[in-house]
Amino acid sequence: MLHVLIGEDDFSLRQALEEIKKSIGDTTALMSNTTVFDGKTVTPELLRAACDSMPFLSEKRLVIVEGLLDKFESKRETGKKKSSAKNNKVEEFLSFANAVKNPPPFTELVITGGKISDRNPLLQELMKIIKVKVFPVLKGTQINQWIEKRVVSQTKGKKISPKAVALMVRLVGNDLWTMSNEVDKLILYTGDRDIAEEDVKVVVSNAQEAGVFAMVDAIIEQRIGAAQELLQQLFKQGMAPSQILVMISRQVRIIYQVREMRAAGKQRGEMMGKLGLTSDFVLRKAWEQADRYSPARIKEVYHQLLEADISIKTGKVEGELALDILIAEIGQRGAVSAGN
């Protein structure tokens, strides 16, 4: 049987893959009957041969191909090079389509991919014969519902309060890998009782760091009310004004550097080293934020942060007041800019 799983929600995609594995049967037998291919290097012939191979001491075998659809995402070409490349791609994706259309009944063939365009030629061919499962990133109330269902599915009827859910979304975002880990920790921490907002404040890792990320978003986007609310939350968590300012400045600087390094073609691993980061969480958040803000806007906010830092260090303004003024000034400057 053929399965096609695509989408940016890698967590849900992997969960679906695990369900396919469970449906096959004994996990021990599956270990010696599983083949995983890199879609960038596998050939149609090699893929077909793997699918046609009889399973060893098992009723089923599993063949997984990762990144094959990504190979056929459109790229800009010009002139004769474009025509030649197009013809080659047509022959190649048709060869793959024919190789995977009818796997033997003893083979479960799974093709996975990330964000794939509807115009992807191989995807279009596969959609003619099967229903493709798409896993988009969860947004809005979808992530809230996911958290609630996760709590219920991992327990015997335990619940999580709406305020606790809202705080988790603010702190963690829609990264389901991190979110699932935090939900599991909350379940262990709370034992037989339901999960409340205070439990989230105590247990969820990266809480202060995540709070700063959310605050950076609010500041850059001139959502003054949200920024002030987040600032008060950080104060309640025991963070000093100077510490908050350093973390905000650091994050804005990292966002800018990530934009620059991405433009230069740097990979995530290389970025981690150059930025001196030990947490993938920090890089991932900066990566997301770098997509949303222009370099000019990031620079503007960074200079305002430096001004506030100087005011605090020289004793010109008390820390908490300096941060309040900073947020108000950013909003005021944004309103003036919009008016002009």
CB atoms within 10 A of CB 20: 15
Label residue 76 by pLDDT band (50, 70, 90): low
For the chain, residues classed under CATH 1.20.272.10 are 207-339
Domain with CATH 3.40.50.300 in the chain: 2-134
**Which of the four pLDDT bands, split at 50, 70 and 90, describes residue 77?**
very low
Residues comprising the chain, all counted: 340
pLDDT: is 333 or 325 the higher one? 325
**Residues 208-259 pLDDT 10s:** 667 777 787 787 777 888 888 888 877 776 677 887 888 788 888 888 898 8
Burial class (CB in 10 A: 0-12, 13-18, 19+), 234: buried
Average model confidence (pLDDT) for the chain?
82
CATH class (in words) of the domain with range 2-134: alpha beta
> Where along the chain do the CATH 1.10.8.60 domains lie?
141-203
Identify the CATH number of the domain defined by range 141-203.
1.10.8.60
First to last CA, the chain: 61
The vertex-166 CA angle with 163 and 168, nearest 5°, equals: 110
Give whole-number Cα distances, 59 to 22, 28, 62, 101, 105, in Å.
Answer: 13, 13, 11, 20, 10
CATH architecture of the domain 207-339 equals Up-down Bundle (1.20)
pLDDT of residue 332 exceeding 70 = no
